[in-house]
Amino acid sequence: MGQKLRLGMIGGGKGAFIGAIHRIAAQIDGEYELVCGAFSSNPDVSIQSGKDLGLDISRCYASFSELFEKEKQLPKNERMQVVSIVTPNHLHFEPAKLAMQNGFHVVLDKPMTFSLAEAKMLKQIAEETGQLLCLTHTYTGYPMVKEAKQQIAEGKLGEVRKVYVEYPQGWLSKREENGDNKQAAWRTDPSKSGIGGAIGDIGTHAFNLVEYVTGLKVTQINADINTVVEGRKLDDDVNVLLKFNNNASGVLFATQVAAGEENNIKIRVYGEKGGLEWQQNDANSLLMKSADQPFQILRTGSSYLRSFAKHNTRTPAGHPEGYLEAFANLYRNFALTIKAKLNQETPTPEMLDYTGIEDGVRGMAFIEQVIVSGQSDQKWTAFIV
């Protein structure tokens, strides 16, 4: 730990779910200190939220433009170093752009932007400014997901042949957006979410998880997109067949109308020699199967795990770590990378293991091309970024 990074936040004011999660994730490992924020587009709410969080009133800002302007004027050893942007999708690009152009690193909630075009621009800005960006694809933060990635990279399954990834939720089974559920309201509103509903909100998590764990790239998609709840303006259910760059095939589904389901993202990968399975509902176990061998259950915190899993765990085996710790792993690795950079050291592969801007661009491309494929009568659509 040592010196904490000074963190600002855009969005995440009173009542916002994901803002509170980001703050916990940032503070679990003591790598960040929240020093300022523009927590709401409503200036009063923004300032009151900052006060409630115990911030110095002078650093509770009325807007994100004010935040950048004022922070930039502070002495270098006082000013914010990293900003977390936890607003709806249509408010990702502008603050992220300003942040990088003003010399701040960025933590950004997924999906990266409102559109693929914005994503590509943001990538260009990052390259020009040299600022770093971490995209919070939480599920890649789990130790056993990381173990799966390393096992596959080492060839434990042999060449990958099949991938199944699924993300069933039930919370949009009814027309929640008509009530006072703010989450539901913006996520089903194309002016705020972009062209993707379920595909943008959770389909991108599944897509990112697949590419992260397998190390493969999707090359073709065949999508069935549905709006199940009548009157909804965006998709709430997607089924996508996949082809990968090594000719493996896959199935991805993501739905928000599986009534009764919580949030159980799950991945299964099979290669020539065996398979593995991970699901958030039993997040500290990685099930591995090989022909003619007993199944194996690898467990978070065990001595036999590989470097990424170990680096991302705080407690010994048998002390379950969960969603917040997975989220915290992204924040922590991002902090370690930034600190290494500040110290002019080379970050280790373990430090660099957070979702970055390239993954963000691919995620936005996935949203757009799944929508295209869903509208097409042609079976397969090439996936090109």
User: In which residue are the tokens 């999660």 written?
Assistant: 21
Range list of H helices, 302-376 = 307-311, 323-342, 357-375
**Is 321 a residue that touches its own copies (CB under 8 A)?**
yes
Question: In the stretch 362-381, what mask flags binding to its own copies with x, by CB under 8 A?
Answer: --------------xxxxx-
Which residues in the 40-99 window bind its own copies by CB under 8 A? 52-54
Which residues in the 167-196 window bind its own copies by CB under 8 A? 168-171, 173-174
**Is 16 a residue that touches its own copies (CB under 8 A)?**
no
Name the residue type at position 317.
Answer: A
Range list of H helices, 29-76 = 43-52, 64-73
**Are 202 and 208 a contacting pair, CB within 8 Å?**
no
**Is 150 a residue that touches its own copies (CB under 8 A)?**
no
Pick from 44, 154, 180, 292 the residue near its own copies by CB under 8 A.
Answer: 292
**Are 26 and 12 a contacting pair, CB within 8 Å?**
no
Cα 121 to Cα 9, 93, 96, 114, 116, distances in angstroms? 22, 9, 11, 12, 9
Cβ proximity to its own copies: between 20 and 195 the closer is 20
How far apart CA 307 and CA 320 sit, in angstroms, is 19
Question: In the stretch 325-354, what mask flags binding to its own copies with x, by CB under 8 A?
Answer: x-----------------------------
Cβ proximity to its own copies: between 95 and 250 the closer is 250
**Is 161 a residue that touches its own copies (CB under 8 A)?**
yes
Pick from 101, 153, 319, 345 the residue near its own copies by CB under 8 A.
Answer: 319
Pick from 199, 209, 257, 365 the residue near its own copies by CB under 8 A.
Answer: 257
Cβ-based neighbours of 126, under 8 Å, separated by 6 or more: 100, 132, 133, 357
CB of 241 to its own copies, least distance (A): 5
CB of 346 to its own copies, least distance (A): 22
Structure tokens at 287: 């099930």
